[in-house]
C-alpha cells in the first residue's frame, strides 16, 4: 500500500504579518486548519510541520502534528523556496529509513483546504499517475489583455495583438491557489519541480482561496471563510 506524508511548511520569519503562521484566524491559529484537514483526511501515514520556530512547533503539536526534526538554517531564510524545504524534509526522512510514495505539501495559511479536497487530490494523483495535483483558480479578467506600467505610469499592452479582441474570444487562464501540492515523491526528487509538464489542476472557486500576504488579504480571507461557513450551515 502506498505511503504518504503531509508536510506543512511553516517557518517563523514572517515580516509583513508578524507571527502569521500561528496568528488567530476565526478562533484558531491559522496553521491549525491545515493540520486538522490533513489529519481528518485519514490518508497520511504522518502529518508533520517543517519549522525552525519553537512556538510554531508547540502550537502544531497541540493540534496533532508531529515535529520529528527542525528545519535547518539553510532552508529558513528569505531566499529558500518550497522545493528546497521539501527536498530537505524528504531527504532527512530517507536518512531515517522512512520513504513515502507521495508527499502533500500544505501551506500553513490555507484555511480553505479541507479533508475532502485533500482526499480527492490523493485519489486523482493515484488514478492519473501524474507528477502533481494542485488547485488552480481562473483569472477573473483575461490576462491576454493585461497591461504593464512603466516608471512614468505609462501603460502599454503586454500582448498588443489582443487589444481589441473580445474577452469571450480569449482562452481562460489560471493561477496557483497557493494551498497545496500533492506530489509523486520519486519524480519530485528527480526534478525538483513542484509543477512539471505532467501536473493536473483542480479548478477552485475564487471564493475558496485567498493569497494572504498582508493585513488586507487576511481580512478578505476571514470574510470569505465566514461566507462559506454560513453557506454550509444553510445546506
pLDDT of residue 33: 98
- Helices and strands (H and E) in the chain: how many: 6, 11
How many CA atoms, within 13 angstroms, populate the side-chain half-sphere of residue 123? 9
pLDDT at site 235: 62
Q: Which three cell numbers stand for residue 217?
A: 488579504
77 DSSP assignment: S
The pLDDT value recorded for residue 151 is: 97
Give the residue ranges of DSSP H helices in 30-150.
30-41, 54-62, 82-95, 115-128
Cα separation, 191 vs 188, whole angstroms: 5
CA distances from 40 to 6, 138, 161, 197 (A): 12, 28, 49, 30
Q: Where are the domains of the chain?
A: 4-129+176-195+204-234
Low-confidence ranges of the chain (pLDDT < 70): 235
pLDDT at residue 14, as a whole number: 79
Question: Which long-range contacts (C-beta less than 8 Å, at least 24 apart) are formed by 119-125?
Answer: 119/41, 119/42, 119/43, 120/202, 121/180, 121/182, 121/202, 122/4, 122/41, 122/43, 122/182, 124/182, 124/200, 124/202, 125/182, 125/183, 125/184, 125/200
Closest of 131, 169, 77, 127 to residue 88, by C-alpha: 77
Classify residue 213 as exposed, middle or buried by CB count within 10 Å of its CB (0-12, 13-18, 19+): middle
**Thinking of the domain 4-129+176-195+204-234, which architecture would CATH place it in?**
Alpha-Beta Complex (3.90)
Amino acid at each position: 500500500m502506498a505511503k504518504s506524508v503531509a508536510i506543512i511548511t511553516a517557518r517563523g520569519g514572517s515580516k509583513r504579518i508578524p507571527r502569521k503562521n500561528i496568528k488567530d484566524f476565526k478562533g484558531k491559529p491559522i496553521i491549525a486548519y491545515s493540520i486538522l484537514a490533513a489529519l481528518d483526511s485519514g490518508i497520511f501515514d504522518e502529518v508533520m510541520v517543517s519549522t525552525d520556530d519553537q512556538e510554531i512547533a508547540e502550537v502544531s503539536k497541540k493540534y496533532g502534528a508531529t515535529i520529528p526534526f527542525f528545519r535547518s538554517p539553510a532552508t529558513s531564510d528569505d531566499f529558500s523556496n518550497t522545493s528546497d524545504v521539501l527536498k530537505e524534509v524528504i531527504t532527512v526522512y530517507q536518512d531515517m529509513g522512512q520513504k513515502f510514495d507521495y508527499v502533500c505539501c500544505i501551506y500553513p495559511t490555507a484555511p480553505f483546504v479541507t479533508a475532502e479536497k485533500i482526499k480527492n487530490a490523493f485519489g486523482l494523483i493515484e488514478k492519473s499517475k501524474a507528477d502533481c495535483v494542485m488547485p488552480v483558480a481562473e483569472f477573473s479578467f483575461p490576462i491576454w489583455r493585461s497591461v504593464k506600467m512603466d516608471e512614468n505610469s505609462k501603460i502599454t499592452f503586454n500582448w498588443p495583438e489582443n487589444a481589441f479582441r473580445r474577452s469571450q474570444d480569449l482562452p481562460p487562464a489560471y493561477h496557483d491557489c497557493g494551498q497545496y501540492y500533492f506530489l509523486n515523491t520519486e519524480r519530485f526528487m528527480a526534478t525538483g519541480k513542484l509543477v512539471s509538464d505532467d501536473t493536473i489542476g483542480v479548478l477552485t472557486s475564487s471564493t475558496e482561496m485567498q493569497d494572504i500576504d498582508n493585513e488586507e488579504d487576511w481580512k478578505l480571507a476571514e470574510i470569505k471563510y465566514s461566507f462559506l461557513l454560513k453557506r454550509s450551515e444553510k445546506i
